[in-house]
């Protein structure tokens, strides 16, 4: 697992995918600190690592990244950690379009495509 605070290239993300899931990398994005944890078996492990670094749970969202998928579909909003009825998020996705857009912006900044 790695905490990404500066831009990485797509080749590095592909390497991570190849080591674990083949075509996908799990990631947890901190929408406040603009960082993400990547390359763990579970989103919960990445979430825990960011919490230990001082992130607030309300700011953490799980996604799956598909380095070889073109366009907007390379980011999949699907994680058990996203189930947060207390925050109004009642699905494994990210229901708030503004939060989804923020995640897209952060991931796009952190991964050079």
Strands 8-9 and 35-38: unpaired
C-alpha to C-alpha distance for 67 and 84, rounded to whole angstroms:
27
The values of phi and psi at residue 8, to 5°, are: -115, 160
- Confidence band of 72 (pLDDT split at 50, 70, 90): confident
Of the candidates 97, 74, 68, 70, the residue with the CA atom closest to the CA atom of residue 27: 74
pLDDT tops 90 at residue 69 = yes
Residue pair 77/42 in contact by the 8 Å Cβ criterion: no
- For 77-92, the pLDDT digits (tens) are 999 999 999 999 999 9
C-alpha to C-alpha distance for 71 and 21, rounded to whole angstroms:
21
């Amino acid at each position: 697992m790695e905490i990404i605070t500066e831009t990485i290239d797509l080749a590095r993300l592909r390497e991570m995918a190849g080591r674990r899931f083949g075509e996908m990398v799990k990631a947890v994005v901190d929408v406040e600190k603009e960082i993400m944890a990547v390359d763990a078996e579970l989103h919960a492990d990445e979430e825990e690592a960011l919490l230990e670094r001082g992130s607030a749970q309300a700011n953490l969202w799980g996604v799956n990244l598909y380095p070889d998928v073109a366009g907007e579909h390379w980011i999949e909003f699907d994680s058990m950690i996203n189930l947060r009825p207390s925050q109004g998020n009642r699905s494994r996705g990210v229901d708030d379009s503004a939060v989804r857009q923020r995640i897209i912006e952060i991931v796009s900044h952190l991964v050079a495509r």
